[in-house]
Chains A and B, each alone.
Chain A
Amino acid sequence: MSDLIELEELPVEAEHSMREEIRRVSERMRGRRVATSRVMVALCGVALVVAAVPLVALLYQLFDKGLSQIDWSFFTHLPETPTIIAPNATGGVSNAIVGTIALTIYASIVAIPVGVLVGVYLAETESKLATSLRVVSQTMAGAPSILMGLFAFSFLVHDLNIGFSSIAGSFALAVLMLPVIIISTEIAVRNVPNSLREAGLALGAKSHKVSLKVVLPSSITGIVTGCILAISRAVGETAPVLLVIGGGFTNSWQPFDPVSAMPLAIFENAKSEYPSQRAQVWGIALVLVIFVFLLSLTARIWASRKQQVRN
């Protein structure tokens, strides 16, 4: 009987001394922990400033130098070549704005349906074809964008002889957009819970119907966000269009006409010998940044609205 009592008391004592030991050690460590924590928080603050300074400086310069360039004729007039008599005559950049919009629309018409379908296919099937498509699109996503321009130039402009045109530029942009759309669609579709697929199949739906009527609507937010991301990237790209669109000086929506684009206009004007044209660069850049910002803002608002409706 007495043995039993001893045995029962022993672990209690042991536990007690362990508690004291933990308390003692943690007391000793407290000062060091507090100091480490403060240093880390300070480092985070420094990193934040380092990251924010260039960004704020860039935006400040953009608005400072760009706003004064923008007026109504900036959007409506074609560019003029400054002369010695009128060195400040730069005209507008309507051709570049029209060109960018046309290029983006043509590229999206091809890239969005193809990219979304391939993305859904990759997410919904397991096959050798799917695996190789995935590898190709992931490689393409990392490929330098000038490569798309080079390819469009040698294949469309040179080999097929269709000339410098917006169709060649949109081809290059579409190739650039495709991997972005494919990858984001695949992720969005994979995130749809399997229970919804099963629910559809258990109602006697064929698997392509489940993909189209259940999976696709459930992942539409992610897909649209991916598409808008791809569009914003295409709008700002210079390299793919540099070699193939020809820098046209008219407001042309025709696919086979040479056109200009905002990034290209920045590139060309920045090389100009006239200060007035070099100054105009900031106006074009500002419009481009606002354009991309509005696109991503639309995507965000749309996605959060959609989410709210569902909840």
Chain B
Amino acid sequence: MEQEIEIMTEIKSETTQVVTPAVRGAIAMQLNNVAVAFHGRVAVRDCTFDVAKNRVTSLIGPSGSGKTTLLRALNRLHDLTPGAKVSGQISLEGTDIYRGNLTVTELRTRVGMVFQRPNPFPTMSIYDNVVSGLRFNGIKKKALLDESAEASLRSAALWDSVSSRLKVAASNLSGGEQQRLCIARALALDPEVLLMDEPTSALDPIATLHIEELMKTLKSRVTVVIVTHNMQQAARISDDCAFLLMGEDRAGELIEFDTTEKIFNNPDDSRTLDYTLGRFG
């Protein structure tokens, strides 16, 4: 299936030469007319786009445009909120994540999440934090956990600074290190997609730079979807970009989805241009 798509896109790109989202290669997640409502009040709607594999997709837009709400629908975190309802279709590798035969726990091991504020488990050591996802899912073999802890910390560019103090409480780390620990914790489950909800908004510029560089290296093994308030960040790190805006009824909606290059250089919608040029938001 994957191969088929790749072949098809190859043929297409030869003939059309235009890189549009439809022809970027294999697709990790598909969103079809997705909307999220809380107690009947629509928070975000009309979201239809494909998240391409091994690329960074950013969700941008002003406050209240539903970026985070949409992101949290992708690993069913709204399931916990009373009165929340997700409609439309979201699929992961062709399987509907809300109605298909994919349990919510399995989905969340395949679609990881990094939150806005670093949230390592305060009672656990650095090591225990990294392997917590594996332990939650029943993996107990020490050798396996050790191996995964090292690999994940290396992937998150944290191994060199913490390898000598793995048993220290995670709260001893700096904010930037804590966020990288959270990334390592998510990577330990070897997810296909990594959702990041403004992962650098609570960090200083240097820590932000570290995380951004990390994202660029990570996309070879994981598809990244990132919500960001920071347009420069979206321009720097993302390959594709979804622009959302709050409509007149205060519900967020997708205005435009395309490659980051197009969104920032010659978008189809004038509102997208106004936003990326900093005229509002």
Q: Which residues of A line the B interface, CB within 8 A?
A: 126, 193, 195-206, 209-210, 213-214, 217-218, 220, 309-311
Contacts of B80 in A (CB 8 A): 197-198, 201
The 5 A-B pairs of least Cβ separation, nearest first, read: A205-B136, A203-B133, A204-B109, A202-B113, A217-B123
Chain B residues, CB < 8 A from A202: 75, 77, 108, 112-113, 115, 186
Asked whether B82 is an interface residue with its Cβ less than 8 Å from the other chain, the reply is: yes
Number of A-B contacts (CB under 8 A): 78
B67: min CB distance to chain A, Å: 17
Known: A205-B136, A309-B169. A196 touches B121 (CB 8 A): yes
Q: Does B281 sit within 8 A of A, measured CB to CB?
A: no
Asked if B117 and A195 make an inter-chain contact with CB atoms under 8 angstroms apart, the answer reads: yes
Q: A309 to chain B: which residues have CB within 8 Å?
A: 169
- Interface flag for B100 (CB, 8 Å): no
Instruction: Report the nearest A residue to B195, measured CB to CB.
Output: A202
Query: Is B32 interfacial (CB-CB < 8 Å)?
Result: no
Q: Write out the residue numbers on chain A whose beta carbons fall within 8 Å of the beta carbon of B117.
A: 195
Among A197, A209, A310, contact of B123 (Cβ-Cβ < 8 Å): A310
Once the chains are docked, how many angstroms separate the CA of A210 from the CA of B135?
11
Query: From B82, which residue of chain A is reached at the shortest CB distance?
Result: A126
Whether the pair B115, A200 counts as a contact (CB closer than 8 A) is no
**Interface flag for B183 (CB, 8 Å):** no
Contacts A126-B82, A201-B77; A206 near B105 (Cβ below 8 A): yes
- Are B115 and A195 in contact (CB-based, < 8 A)? yes
**18 other A-B residue contacts (CB within 8 Å) besides A200-B132, A201-B80, A220-B123:** A193-B119, A195-B119, A197-B80, A199-B119, A199-B120, A199-B121, A202-B75, A203-B186, A203-B189, A204-B108, A204-B137, A205-B136, A206-B136, A210-B136, A214-B123, A217-B123, A218-B123, A310-B123
Q: How far is the CB of B106 from chain A (nearest CB, A)?
A: 7
Chain A: minimal CB distance from B81 (Å): 10
Q: Is the CB of A204 within 8 A of B105?
A: yes
Q: Is B182 an interface residue (CB 8 A)?
A: yes
Docked Cα-Cα span, A199 to B130, in Å, equals: 12
Q: How far is the CB of B199 from chain A (nearest CB, A)?
A: 13
* CB pair A203 B132 closer than 8 Å: yes
| Residue tally, chain B, CB below 8 Å to A | 30
13 A-B pairs within 8 Å (CB atoms) are namely: A126-B82, A196-B121, A199-B185, A200-B132, A201-B80, A202-B75, A202-B77, A202-B112, A202-B115, A203-B112, A203-B189, A206-B136, A213-B136
B88 at the interface (CB under 8 A from A): no
Interchain CB contact (< 8 A) of A310 among B105, B122, B133: B122
Residue of A at shortest CB range from B170?
A: A310
Kindly list chain A residues whose C-beta atoms are within 8 Å of the C-beta of B121.
196, 199-200, 214, 217-218
Residue ID in chain B nearest A311 by CB atoms: B171
Of A201, A203, A205, A309, which is in contact with the most chain B CB atoms at under 10 Å from its CB?
Answer: A203
Which of A198, A203, A214, A218 is in CB contact (< 8 Å) with B185?
Answer: A203
CB distance from A139 to the nearest CB of B (A): 27
Given B75, B109, B119, B137, which contacts A196 in the complex, CB threshold below 8 Å? B119
Q: A217-B123, A310-B122, A311-B171 are in contact. Are A199 and B136 (CB under 8 A)?
A: no
| A residues in contact with B136, CB < 8 Å | 200, 203-206, 209-210, 213
Residues in B neighbouring A199, C-beta threshold 8 A: 115, 119-121, 182, 185
Q: How far is the CA of A193 from the CA of B117 in the complex (A)?
A: 12
Q: Taking the nearest CB of chain B, how far is it from the CB of A202, in angstroms?
A: 4
A204: which B residues are within 8 A, CB to CB?
A: 105-109, 133, 136-137, 189
A310 in contact with B113 (CB, 8 Å): no
Nearest residue, chain B, Cβ from A221: B123
The residues of B that contact A195 with a CB separation of less than 8 Å are 115, 117, 119
Q: How many Å lie between the Cα of A210 and that of B186 in the bound state? A: 16
Q: How far is the CB of A193 from chain B (nearest CB, A)?
A: 8
Chain B 131-167, CB-CB to A under 8 Å as 1, else 0, gives 0110111000000000000000000000000000000
Nearest CB of B to A205, in Å: 4
CA distance A213 to B107 in the complex (A): 20
B82 / chain A contacts, CB cutoff of 8 Å: 126
Q: Tell me which of B105, B106, B124, B171 has the highest count of chain A C-beta atoms within 10 A of its own C-beta.
A: B105
How far does the alpha carbon of A184 sit from the alpha carbon of B243 in the complex, in Å?
A: 46
B137: chain A residues within 8 A (beta carbon): 203-205
Chain B hits for A205, CB < 8 A? 105, 133, 136-137
